[in-house]
A and B are shown apart, each in its own frame.
Chain A
């Protein structure tokens, strides 16, 4: 046998407040990415490329798009008699019924399922990361060191360095400390959110009735403090957490750079996803497309630059899409302009409408999450004909033309449906 029995547990239940309209309808793991994928495809493809065919996905928040996407796991060859893929949603039991209160609690509530797998190691992954990794190497290093826990580490991206957990490790990899979201950012490597636990040890810790709900705070930090065998294993190459609008946007834009830092075209490590039954992309007579990714079923008659178009997008003649992300079946009508916009599924951008890049006042309500000039238009919304939306505006989900107070929307505004029942 080449590999010890491993069970992968993918955490994909979180609500990503920082994604706003993009994260309301779906969990970050289900976010459309790269013109055809959803973010969780990277983790799932890594699993199967690493020979791990037992994958459980812990879901809680808005799981439907994830459920529909994963189905029985066919695209990843995870529709199997032994192992395969399984979604673990919270359920009602005779005593102590609860939602997952945190990542550790989610594992705890599924301890029977995990125990039944009789795995020697538990590979705990996050579904909202973009990276390629051979987990086999990680697991081998974990075995060789006879570690209780091995944490994959990476160099943090330059944006928002305060979002990460900094790992203090000795030359031999032994972890001495983990500084989660420090007040003062310092150099060094960060935790990549990829862990291998010795199954027995993690299960024993989860069984402690006084355990808190968070995997890092209540399990991993105490392990390090108590001197358990915790090691770091470097993850080389591209790694991005796409849990914020900025990081999602920047990571997508990385794909359309002349030499992308992340190669989707590697034949030995393809990213699998359910392909939709759509015709190939049609590029029209007057179209101009540069530095872009174009999914199938799209029809481009206008100008597209440094952008990612998902399946079924229509860019009409005379429309211009620049530095933008346009999701499935959205339509950009003739003469409209998108600049640094993230347009969710089925959005209609009316004729001659202008979205983005007028000026740069941060968003009035969410200055922290929307200040780099990106406009977000939520799923199924519309941008009325001839409307002009400034930078950093946030259009909520399902906003109709009648919901706009005027056609001139200043930078940093938030537009919500007027008739919405207050939450």
Chain B
């Protein structure tokens, strides 16, 4: 009898479209939903599906991910047999390269699959928000004798441009695979959740490794397997959100505070595990006014919070307003300040009477208009915004800036504030 008990999570990507959120951390380590990091969803899906042997392939800025995962306690993955392991690029006798792509990362760590004598392996992405029991997927894969099975979800056709679109026949076998097509034929897209038969995957990886390709599962491996044989589509109903862009990140967070959230975080049958930070419960002060928001422990709210997500240890002082925003851990919003349609990274300090995200001017961001044009202003980790600063929309403010780095005048919409721009001024 064959079964699937080993999962590899791809968590090495750059995530450049997430702007400065992923400047200092890998995309799967980006904070999400008040207390989680994005990878928690894939990891929790694994353990809730009974898979307790997980390798995480990391490359880009793995430190925060490594600290988050630790020895895997939060997921019950601190085990003698199995458990969780971070697979960072390494120097060996012969192979001494950085991972050239997702497929190459798995290829370079193939010994991990081999030593388990795994006949099948689950390959997941670490940057999606969803709940999924992988067992029915695996059952379908085994029952149909597929070489690979791809979980697919249905999204609006016009949004399918950024994904891998799947074309299937009547029996569910995949006939074609279009990665990020200009004109998507349907909204049936790959979720980045795959089961592979090891004996089919390895030759494909090896062949790909010897060619000049992006070494990508979606672009290279799956199309080659589709050509060669039996790749099954498995339709997964339910919420699935790729956190690829700042807009999708923002939307997925704010979806959580809708009165009918499409993705409730608190499902006791399928808990999302994460290491809890040591904080007391959230405290609401005398003048607190909070609506439609997620408030995490350690937060102290004395001001107004509307349609926002506050991470642990956030302080909103009296007379301050946080609206339609995401405020990450241990940030401070000073008295009388307004934060509107903004993402504040960890430990951002917003001085008294600041206005972050102000006005009707929606000039897209100068340096990345393609990712920062919907009105979101973003402030990087640990930056201190001086008292009374007014900041427009679509503004990007780098991490670790101090009061002296800020101009005295209003920061106009679309502006980029970095230490270099200040120095040049």
Contact = CB atoms under 8 A, between A and B. Distances in A.
Given A279-B34, A280-B295, A270 B278 contact: yes
A234 to B, nearest CB: 26
A273 B140 CA distance: 42
B280 A279 contact: no
Nearest to A286: B291
B290 A289 contact: yes
B297 A264 contact: no
A283 B290 contact: yes
B281 A283 contact: no
Nearest to B274: A277
B314 to A, nearest CB: 11
B94 interface: no
Contacts, number: 113
Interface in A1-39: 34-36
B35 interface: yes
B276 A275 contact: yes
Contact of B280 (A264, A282, A292, A304): A264
Interface string A288-308: 111111111101000010001
Contact of B266 (A34, A278, A288): A278
A226 interface: no
B286 A36 contact: no
Interface in A233-260: 256, 258
B292 A284 contact: yes
A271 interface: yes
Contacts of A295: 281-282, 297
B309 to A, nearest CB: 8
Contacts of A284: 259, 291-292
Contacts of B33: 279-280
B296 interface: yes
B298 interface: yes
Contact of B291 (A279, A285, A292, A294): A285
B271 interface: yes
A387 B296 CA distance: 34
B276 A293 contact: no
B228 interface: no
B280 A291 contact: no
A272 B276 CA distance: 11
B280 A294 contact: no
Contact of B285 (A258, A282, A299): A258
B280 A296 contact: no
Contacts of B285: 258, 290-291
A349 interface: no
B295 A283 contact: yes
B265 interface: yes
10 tightest Cβ-Cβ pairs between the two chains A and B: A275-B276, A35-B281, A279-B265, A280-B34, A279-B266, A264-B280, A280-B296, A293-B281, A289-B284, A295-B281
30 contacts: A34-B280, A36-B280, A36-B297, A256-B283, A265-B279, A265-B298, A270-B279, A276-B276, A277-B272, A279-B34, A279-B266, A280-B35, A280-B294, A281-B282, A281-B294, A281-B297, A282-B257, A282-B266, A283-B305, A284-B259, A288-B289, A292-B284, A293-B280, A293-B281, A293-B283, A294-B284, A295-B281, A296-B281, A296-B282, A309-B281
